[in-house]
Amino acid sequence: MSVKVFIDGKEGTTGLKIFERFAKRSDIEILTIDDEKRKDPVEKAKMINASDYTFLCLPDAAAIESAQLCTNPNTVIIDASTAHRTNPDWAYGFPELDASFRSKIEKSNRIAVPGCYASGFIALGYPLVKSGIMPSDYPVTIHAVSGYSGAGKKAIAQYEAEDRDPGLDSPRLYALTQAHKHLPEMKKISGLDYEPIFNPYVCDYFQGMTVTVGLHSRLLGKKVTAHDVWEMMSEHYKDATFVKVAGFMGEGTLPEQFIPANTLAGTNNMQIFVYGNDDRIMLTSRFDNLGKGASGAAVQCLNIRMGIDETTSLI
């Protein structure tokens, strides 16, 4: 028996990727809306309330409006926008963080999919704070790089234009005012007292992401070595299907001492690396900004909510 799914915003990057992931699934029936009516609230309400699951792949304001159109108490809303990620009434869609996150996803009719950069940081920050290694008031700085697919349809067109601006040939730092939309969830979900400094770069490759946090051991809540931090992270994610901690210093995973950002493109996997020395400890998460950072995470949440194998249609 199939479930009915509506993707509100199927024309965007995340919506298209979710649609592609359902292509070979016999347990999913996609509800479609005429192109000329895709912004009509009456027609959208019909689709949302006729569905078992609705994905919102929309800007924040539009996602809020669409969520409010839902009057069917049995319809599950899975929102890929920023709009509901810090709302306590919504499950936060990162089941690997701990059992309470997974349990809430299993039961909730409102699920907020994490942001891409936020996923990369929270995968590091949440265990560090929970373990007591990193104090909640630690002055966190995050450095991150992403492929240009994460910048949206307009930016993708700019990067792929034949006569593009030469400035697009190099990594570009942005979010200069420290007001990036992922910061509130980074702070709340990780358990931090203050928003971190966040330095993201968009780069000249299509997809893939790394997010890096550095720690000064003298400022930590416990006296630990880099290896101690690696052991804690390894234990935290030992049972996770999609999140894996690489060998210490990348042993067994990195043939050279480089961490390329695009090697997990096309998957829903995330790798975590711990390296550095006992004075300055470094952690990096690597994943696909369109996978575990967007559509893959959304489909994983659907699978968990359906009560089926969470890896279904994911690699």
70 flagged as catalytic: no
From 70, 116, 203, 301, active-site residue: 116
The half-sphere exposure of 224 on its side-chain side, counting CA atoms within 13 A, is 25
* Two tokens, residue 238: 């030992």
Q: Transcribe the chain into DSSP letters.
A: --EEEEEETTTSHHHHHHHHHTTT-TTEEEE---GGGTT-HHHHHHHHHH-SEEEE-S-HHHHHHHHHT---TTPEEEE-SSTTTT-TTSEES-TTS-HHHHHHHHH-SEEEPPPHHHHHHHHHHHHHHHTTSS-TT---EEEEEEEGGGG-HHHHHHHH-TT--GGGGS-EE--TTS--TTHHHHHHHHT-SSPPEEEEEEESSSS-EEEEEEEEGGGSSS---HHHHHHHHHHHTTT-SSEEEPSGGGTTT-SSS---SSTTTTSS-EEEEEEE-SSEEEEEEEE-TTIIIIIHHHHHHHHHHHTS-TTTT--
Catalytic residues: 116
